[in-house]
Amino acid sequence: MALKNLADAFHDELRDILSAERQLVKALPKMAKHASCEKLTQAINNHLIETQNQIDRVEQAFEETGKQAKAKTCEAMKGLITEANEMLDEEGEPAVKDALIIACAQKVEHYEIATYGTLCTWAEALGYVNALKLLKQNINEEEAADEKLSELAKTINMAAMAAPAG
């Protein structure tokens, strides 16, 4: 795909975030399964539902581009998920693994926040009113998820610090 103008770049980034969100839907259940803290498991499961809704919004945002909602592989998300999966496969104290799950999840959230921030700026510049509204909903949910993870980290990190030294 030739990127000749901002509209092309917007479409390309929409394709990327669509892939990222779809990859995340597949990855979140494994993270929830490995979490030992019930509040962390619940936060991940809640974000899974939000992510499914975010996919719907991204697909709707394509309408203003006049192009099909077709994903292209998001290599960044692929890498973040690979890193998280490698961590999940390690042996470790439950609280320490929960702290690492939060770290991996926040890396994902920060990537999504950056991408949605760019998409919102471009949608506004391009006059994509509906896409902007939809993408703002997504970024607001991503920011709220990041804040929730930060709040959970306060108690989980304390528990991880109390884990026996290796």
Q: Which domains does the chain have, with CATH numbers?
A: 6-161 (1.20.1260.10)
Q: Under a CB-based contact definition with an 8 Å cutoff, are residues 67 and 11 in contact?
A: yes
pLDDT in tens, 36-53: 999 999 999 999 999 999
pLDDT in tens, 51-61: 999 999 999 99
State phi, psi for 121 to the nearest 5 degrees.
-60, -45
Structure tokens at 160: 């991880």
SS in 3 state form for 115-144? HHHHHHHHHHHHCCHHHHHHHHHHHHHHHH
pTM for this prediction: 0.95
pLDDT at 2: 85
Question: Can you list the residues of the chain whose pLDDT is less than 50?
Answer: none
pLDDT at 166: 60
- Sign, CA torsion 118/138/71/110: positive
